[in-house]
Structure 1
């Protein structure tokens, strides 16, 4: 099997999983939690934020980036037509990482501090809207990355 096939297969699986995670928050988790009281919301999100810190998630989260980086570098090095769309996919996924590390994780941490202090109303008010808005951006960026990766796959079949 060609290295590009392995790299793009790994990138596709990992990216689809991570994009699906963001999507599930956007269309089910956050809308479902919208209807609960502040204490339940903060408790549930704090537990979710703790639970997601596990090796399976880390493998997909970091693996998508590494596989996309590898596929992009290999495509450029070999002069493959997949180079440009793989670069777009990598840029879109990198943007999701910037949002995660720059916005989502700091919001998660502040929510955890609010939960520990028993300030559920304040914690929720400063968390829910910005976290949800930025998660929707991550969802769209993940979709764009997956579409670009599909274009990269299609370009491999071109002479």
Structure 2
């Protein structure tokens, strides 16, 4: 029998997966396009400000908590005999951890830290070069983590369907 606390943690896992996917997705379809269309001096300053503000108590649960809760759910479900759902939640946690969180920490964060050290030049062409050298690779890796966090969300979502099947059986 599946415990009610497990259902609550399943819901929390889905919510965190959706939140982090949505965060990365918003950068893909609005934030970076808007910055790319702006004066590159403004884009650099805006990105520096956004990167400085993202490390906060609202963002942290989705970024750091998603794999932790997914692994906790996987363990609880496995212990309650719902092995297929457990495997899907475990796979969701691994997918996000490696291709979302670790990718972010090893690629996007160092790029952000390097940009934070840039003094915004007065010269438009110099700023454009700096911005393009940052924006294009940053967006490639952001699209990668967006796709993989979507895949992680879908794995967790499938874990719910499997969980419902197990409940009926």
TM over 0.5: yes
2:37 corresponds in structure 1 to 35
Q: 2:104 aligns with which of 100, 103, 109?
A: 100
Q: Deviations over 1:89-116 (max 9, x none)?
A: 1122112011100101000001101137
- 1:152 aligned residue (125, 150, 159): 159
Measure how far apart 1:126 and its partner are. Answer: 2.8
**TM-score of the aligned structures, taking structure 2 as reference length:** 0.86
Contact kept, 8 Å, 1:12 with 1:146, in 2: the verdict is: yes
Whether the aligned pair in 1 keeps the contact of 2:35 and 2:43 (CA below 8 Å) is yes
Q: CA deviation at 1:18?
A: 1.0
1:46 touches 1:112 (CA, 8 Å); kept in 2?
yes
Where does the alignment leave 5 or more consecutive residues of structure 2 unmatched? Answer: none
Paired residues in the alignment total: 159
Shift of 1:121: 4.2
Pick from 59, 65, 75: which aligns with 1:73? 75
Corresponding residue for residue 26 of structure 1: 28
Structure 2: distance between partners of 1:134 and 1:115: 24
Listed as ranges, the gaps of 5+ residues in structure 1 are: none
Q: CA deviation at 1:45?
A: 0.3
4+ runs deviating over 6 angstroms? 116-119
TM-score (norm 1): 0.91
Task: Give the deviation of 1:59 after TM superposition.
Answer: 1.9
